[in-house]
Chains A and B, each alone.
Chain A
């Protein structure tokens, strides 16, 4: 029992955290009435995906998740180790970092346009609760 717990839950904790955050954001997008809460749910969902992707870029040699530095070359600056590039330093994979920078910025742009749309909806209907908007639409269509 203990080995199953350690192997399945504690060794893969990044997947569990990311799944929990993703489901919280997804629930907020579907089940809440207020339009602002839906936008916040969208943001939480995007953050969970970004965390998951970056945690995939971890590399460890000889051990359980230790000893990896960020992908900036150590020893290249003259005040660190006298300007000689060190050997034997393990760097994390830089490819997920590059792709996720783009994803963060696209998320921010999407949130900005969504907020502008919510302002327009408030002008047209007078409210931002989704159930009231549906009622007003149904009242309008009755002949």
Chain B
């Protein structure tokens, strides 16, 4: 064998061993509570006393939670709403919907999720794909979430990408044509 083949093989085996060593710690895919799809744990927790639960049922977030959320710099503007949610899947919690100031689009959006677990209240934050899946049919009348995401929610990426295609076409023309001939 030549020198470069043997050294490339050795390098690839070492790289493979590194990947396998890293892959042991990654969780199995299809995780039921996969955070990228449902929520992100904000690790704010206060004790669940009776008056706190009562105020949540009435629709007002208690002051301890409000001050903790604002200390981290997360938004909680005036005009929010509290609803009970998540009971179809068996979780007990409350959704907090906050108004987003977007022009020409419907306004209230699910933002935080408060869950009662082991006598403490934990705060989670809904992630962006949840909004896609819930609002796609009513905002845009399209069943296909992927096309709606490409053209509307992620429109800037698609614009840059069409420019990349155009540039590739132009550069092949510049490389392969000479003066006078093709």
Contact = CB atoms under 8 A, between A and B. Distances in A.
B132 A94 contact: yes
A19 B144 contact: no
Contacts of A72: 143-146
A27 interface: yes
A105 interface: yes
A102 B19 CA distance: 26
B5 interface: yes
**Interface core residue of A27, A68, A87 (most chain B CB under 10 Å):** A27
Interface string B1-17: 00011001101100110
B30 A93 contact: no
B146 A59 contact: no
Interface residues of B, number: 47
B168 A109 contact: yes
B23 A31 contact: no
A37 interface: no
**Interface core residue of B23, B145, B158 (most chain A CB under 10 Å):** B145
Contacts of B11: 30
Contacts of B132: 94-95
A7 to B, nearest CB: 8
Given A72-B145, A77-B143, A101 B8 contact: no
11 contacts: A26-B12, A26-B15, A30-B12, A61-B89, A68-B30, A71-B144, A87-B88, A91-B133, A93-B129, A98-B149, A98-B154
Interface of A: 7-8, 11-12, 14-16, 19, 22-23, 26-27, 30-31, 55-62, 64-65, 68, 71-73, 76-77, 85, 87-88, 91, 93-95, 97-99, 101-102, 105-106, 109-110, 112-113, 116-117, 119-120
